[in-house]
Structure formats: structure tokens, C-alpha cells
């Protein structure tokens, strides 16, 4: 089938190339001229493993066309996927400006009556219902939330834990579900609001789980126990499961923080008092502060020190800084008079835009991990790029002036690091 997709961000572009892999023809709509040009040339505007290759392949095969014309994209299409961004406002409310504009445009073009409008963007409960009435057309509207993680989006598309399709038109639900064939996954057909809230409920729970892991790790640290062993034991309970129990610098990304804020906003709007999600957010913020407190305590103060930071992206496998620990920790270190040298394998350019020299004097970004270590009093590891664990502890020790290694991802081999005379501190690793 021909599928139209509006919005070529992480979700839209990944979905476009993956639907092509499933044998569909896709017309991807991008209104930004710069991104449109890149996409037409087969250059991926996003850093997502596997997407650049699939984009180029399907541009060359002709399965994927890119256009700025909604009409051209929907002509002959059986479905139009809405994948525009819904970024958070200060209140936590998702900004639906782009979505509203697109729904208005859809109402103006010629649509085949059996084309299904599919909302894949993460939207507050009630948005699909609003879209159906705002469209003023007989076309069915279906909610089909995505659960793609940055860095593993393609794998998550082809091996989903479930496919959720929501709306009142059962035949339309089955048509949308059929687009994913032959992917084998549990299929849940719901109404609109259920599908919309499943997305938020999932991300809210993942954030809760991470914050819970971080709290248990803090307690383990205080009693000198190994938090990783405790969390492994917890995860072996089939009612808990091992995933998302890794303690770290606190969750980041474009979704978990945004979706928690949206859930809280929606609950306030509905007069429902939420206790757990605000706590998860407080624990998350505190996790960053604890890293700075640890450095200050171990170094006897931060002013005049030099801190090496390995990892800027919110997690390994992406160049995305949204919600990243580095975005709060590095400015705080600079604020206290520390000098920072930072490295990342993908997010250096993005961080330079976030923290330009005129705003972040005292920060130097380095192309190589060891350059960041030069004469450093401490190393703070924030992003679990596997290559950091390949660097010999001797090289770390020789490059540094001091001996403190604060590994916020428990990525490095603490025994090997201690063996070369460095003070290794993990997260939740006891004394
Ligand atoms: C998340 C959801 O997983 C995905 O389903 C949704 O569609 C988009 O939001 P993403 O933000 O890409 O995906 O990354 P994810 O892998 O979920 O990690 C989110 C944050 O939690 C990262 O900062 C990560 O480092 C952190 N995390 C994750 C932990 O601190 N501990 C863990 O055990 C897992």
C-alpha cells in the first residue's frame, strides 16, 4: 500500500524507512526546506543507527519519495500517518500547534474517502477525538502510538512488544494493524483515549522504574552494599523484570521527561492528584545534584579544579542532548568555578550549540576521550558509550592529575581502575 507520513523526525523518518522495508511505498512530507533537501538527497537529518542506510536505499529504489506537498503525498495513499512533534510547553502541556496546523491542512486537500488518518505523535488523551471532529471529513481517525527508543528505533519497530491501535472504527483499526504485517506482536485494539494513555502510562512507568532503581542504589551506597546486585535480584522477580533498573545519572531524552510533564498537566486539568510521578521527577533531579555533591565532597570543593566529562548525549547511541544529565551538570560545575573538558562520540556539535564558548567559558570540548583527561582532577562518566570501557585504566591514570573516577553509568571495571591507583566510585556500588 502507499502510505503518506507527515513529519520526518525520529518517529516519522524511522517509520517511513521501516514501512518501506515491509514492502510499502511511502511518501514522506517534510516542510522544512533544509531537511527536505537532505532527505531528497538521501541524507538522514537524524543520528539513528541504520536509518541513513535505509533512507538512501529506499530513495534509490524509489520506494520512498519525499515532498513538501500534502496533496501529492496523500494521492493514492491508504493511510496518512501524523508524526509531527508535540514538544512540551512550560506548563507541561504538549504544544499541539504543528498538529493542529496539519489537521487543518488535511481538511483542505482532496482525500480518498477510505484513507485512514493515523495519529502516531504522542498526544494527550482526547486529541484523536478532537482531530476526528476538527477534520470534518468521513475519514476514520486512528491512534497508533509508537514505542521507539533512540539508538534502537529500527529494532523497536520490527520487534515491538505490542502494537496498539485505537479508535471507534473497527475496520479502520484492522487496516492500520495490517500495515505492520508480517511483524508478529500482540495486537491491542482499543478506543482513542485508551491508546493515547497507554503511551503516557508506559513512559511514566519507565521513569518511575528508573527513579526507583536510583533510590535503591542510593540506599545501597549508604549502607556499603552493592546496589547492582540488589537490583539484579529485584529484576529476577518476573513481576518486576530486569529492564530499566540500571542506576545512573537520571533519565533524560525527548520523551520520558516530556511525557511525565504531560501526564501531570493532564491530571491537573482533570483535577486528579498524582503522587508518584512528581516524586519520580524529584528523584531524577536529585540524581544529578548528587553527582555534583559527590565531586565537591571528594575533591574538597570544585573551584579551581579541572573535571573531565566523558559522555554528553542523554544515553549512548544518540547525539540527542534533550534532558541529558550533561546539560545540567556541566553548567553547574562551571558555575562553581571548575574547569571542564568534555568528550562525546556523537554530541559534541550539539553541545557546542547548547553551551557556546561565550556562555560556557571554562568548558573545552575535545575530539578524543584522553584529551579530556589531560591534567584532570576527576573523571565524570555520564554516557555509557562502550568505547570508554575499552580505554586502558593505565592510560586514564597517566593522563590525569588527580585520581578520582566517578562512573555515573557503572560502565568501567572498578577493580581494574582501582588497580592502577585511582579512586573508583560507581553509582550504588557501596563504599
Ligand atoms: C523512551 C521510551 O523507552 C520509548 O519507548 C519512547 O517511545 C521514547 O522514550 P528513549 O527516550 O529513546 O525512549 O530512551 P530510553 O532508552 O527509554 O532511555 C531513557 C532514559 O532513561 C535515558 O536517559 C537512559 O539513559 C535512562 N535509563 C534507561 C536509565 O537511566 N536506566 C535504565 O535502566 C534505562
Asked whether 203 lines ligand 1 (CB < 6 A), one says: yes
CA separation, residue 228 to residues 213, 216, 245, 331 (Å) = 9, 9, 9, 29
Asked whether 204 lines ligand 1 (CB < 6 A), one says: no
Which of 18, 20, 83, 255 does the annotation list as catalytic? 255
Tens of each residue's pLDDT in the chain, 431 residues: 999 999 999 999 999 999 999 999 999 999 999 999 999 999 999 999 999 999 999 999 999 999 999 999 999 999 999 999 999 999 999 999 999 999 999 999 999 999 999 999 999 999 999 999 999 999 999 999 999 999 999 999 999 999 999 999 999 999 999 999 999 999 999 999 999 999 999 999 999 999 999 999 999 999 999 999 999 999 999 999 999 999 999 999 999 999 999 999 999 999 999 999 999 999 999 999 999 999 999 999 999 999 999 999 999 999 999 999 999 999 999 999 999 999 999 999 999 999 998 889 999 999 999 999 999 999 999 999 999 999 999 999 999 999 999 999 999 999 999 999 999 999 998 75
**DSSP secondary structure of 339-402:** EEEEE-SS-HHHHHHHS-TTT-TTEEE-SSHHHHHTT-SEEEE-S--GGGGGS-HHHHHHH-SS
**DSSP secondary structure of 183-244:** ----EEEE-HHHHHHHHHHHHHHHHHHHHHHHHHHHHHHHHT--HHHHHHHHHTSTTT-STT
Q: How far is CA 240 from the centre of its chain?
A: 22
Question: Is 83 considered catalytic here?
Answer: no
Residue 431, pLDDT score:
57
Ligand 1 atom closest to 210 (CA): 31
User: Could you tell me the sign of the dihedral formed by the alpha carbons of 145, 87, 46, 323, in that order?
Assistant: negative
Ligand 1 centroid–CA 210 distance in Å is 9
pTM: 0.96
Q: For a ligand 1 pocket test, name from 255, 257, 386 the mutation site with the most ligand atoms within 8 angstroms of its C-beta.
A: 255
The answer to whether 55 and 15 have CB atoms below 8 angstroms apart is no
List b or e across 128-140, with b for residues whose CB sees 16 or more CB atoms inside 10 angstroms: bbbbbebbeeebb
Asked whether 148 lines ligand 1 (CB < 6 A), one says: yes
Asked whether 255 lines ligand 1 (CB < 6 A), one says: yes
Ligand 1 atom closest to 246 (CA): 33
How many Å apart are CA 221 and CA 103, to the nearest integer?
51
Ligand 1 centroid–CA 152 distance in Å is 10
The answer to whether 18 and 54 have CB atoms below 8 angstroms apart is yes
Residue 351, pLDDT score:
97
Asked whether 149 lines ligand 1 (CB < 6 A), one says: yes
Ligand 1 centroid–CA 71 distance in Å is 36
Q: For a ligand 1 pocket test, name from 49, 210, 262, 385 the mutation site with the most ligand atoms within 8 angstroms of its C-beta.
A: 210
Going by CA atoms, what residue is nearest to atom 2 of ligand 1?
A: 149
Going by CA atoms, what residue is nearest to atom 14 of ligand 1?
A: 149
The answer to whether 383 and 376 have CB atoms below 8 angstroms apart is no
Task: Say if residue 190 is exposed, middle or buried (CB neighbours under 10 Å; 0-12, 13-18, 19+).
Answer: middle
Ligand 1 atom closest to 259 (CA): 9
Asked whether 409 lines ligand 1 (CB < 6 A), one says: no
Going by CA atoms, what residue is nearest to atom 3 of ligand 1?
A: 149
Asked whether 384 lines ligand 1 (CB < 6 A), one says: no
Ligand 1 centroid–CA 150 distance in Å is 8
Amino acid at each position: 500500500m502507499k502510505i503518506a507520513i507527515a513529519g520526518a523526525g525520529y518517529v516519522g523518518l524511522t517509520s517511513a524507512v521501516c514501512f518501506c522495508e515491509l514492502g510499502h511505498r511511502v511518501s514522506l512530507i517534510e516542510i522544512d526546506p533544509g531537511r527536505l533537501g537532505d532527505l531528497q538527497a538521501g541524507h538522514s537529518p537524524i543520528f539513528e543507527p541504520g536509518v541513513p542506510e535505509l533512507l538512501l536505499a529506499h530513495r534509490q529504489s524509489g520506494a520512498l519519495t519525499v515532498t513538501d506537498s500534502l496533496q501529492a503525498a496523500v494521492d493514492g495513499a491508504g493511510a496518512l500517518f501524523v508524526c509531527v512533534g508535540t514538544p512540551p510547553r512550560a506548563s507541561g502541556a504538549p504544544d499541539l500547534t504543528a498538529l493542529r496546523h496539519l489537521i487543518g491542512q488535511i481538511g483542505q486537500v482532496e482525500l480518498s474517502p477510505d484513507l485512514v488518518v493515523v495519529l502516531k505523535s504522542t498526544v494527550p488523551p482526547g486529541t484523536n477525538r478532537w482531530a476526528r471532529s476538527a477534520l470534518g471529513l468521513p475519514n476514520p481517525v486512528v491512534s497508533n502510538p509508537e514505542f521507539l527508543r533512540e539508538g534502537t528505533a529500527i529494532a523497536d519497530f520490527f520487534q515491538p512488544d505490542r502494537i496498539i491501535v485505537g479508535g471507534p472504527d473497527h475496520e479502520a483499526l484492522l487496516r492500520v494493524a495490517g500495515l505492520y504485517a508480517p511483524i508478529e506482536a500482540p495486537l491491542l485494539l482499543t478506543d482513542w483515549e485508551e491508546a493515547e494513555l497507554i503511551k503516557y502510562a508506559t513512559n511514566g512507568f519507565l521513569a518511575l522504574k528508573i527513579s526507583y532503581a536510583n533510590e535503591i542504589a542510593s540506599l545501597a551506597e549508604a549502607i556499603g552494599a552493592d546496589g547492582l546486585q540488589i537490583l539484579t535480584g529485584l529484576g529476577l522477580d518476573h513481576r518486576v523484570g530486569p529492564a530499566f533498573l540500571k542506576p545512573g545519572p537520571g533519565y533524560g531524552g525527548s520523551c520520558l521527561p516530556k511525557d511525565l510533564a504531560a501526564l501531570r498537566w493532564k491530571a491537573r486539568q482533570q483535577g486528579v492528584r498524582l503522587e508518584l510521578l512528581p516524586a519520580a521527577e524529584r528523584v531524577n533531579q536529585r540524581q544529578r545534584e548528587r553527582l555534583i555533591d559527590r565531586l565537591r565532597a571528594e575533591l574538597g570543593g570544585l573551584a579551581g579544579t579541572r573535571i573531565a566529562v566523558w559522555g554528553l548525549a542523554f544515553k549512548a547511541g544518540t547525539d540527542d542532548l534533550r534532558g541529558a544529565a550533561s546539560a545540567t551538570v556541566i553548567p553547574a560545575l562551571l558555575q562553581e568555578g571548575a574547569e571542564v573538558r568534555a568528550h562525546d562520540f556523537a554530541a559534541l556539535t550539539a553541545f557546542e550549540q547548547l553551551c557556546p564558548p561565550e556562555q560556557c567559558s571554562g568548558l573545552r570540548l575535545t575530539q578524543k576521550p584522553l584529551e579530556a583527561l589531560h591534567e584532570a582532577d576527576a573523571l565524570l562518566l555520564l554516557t555509557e558509550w562502550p568505547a570508554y570501557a575499552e580505554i586502558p585504566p593505565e592510560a586514564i591514570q597517566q593522563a590525569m592529575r588527580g585520581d578520582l573516577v566517578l562512573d555515573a553509568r557503572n560502565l568501567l571495571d572498578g577493580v581494574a581502575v582501582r588497580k592502577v591507583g585511582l579512586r573508583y566510585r560507581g553509582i550504588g556500588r557501596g563504599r
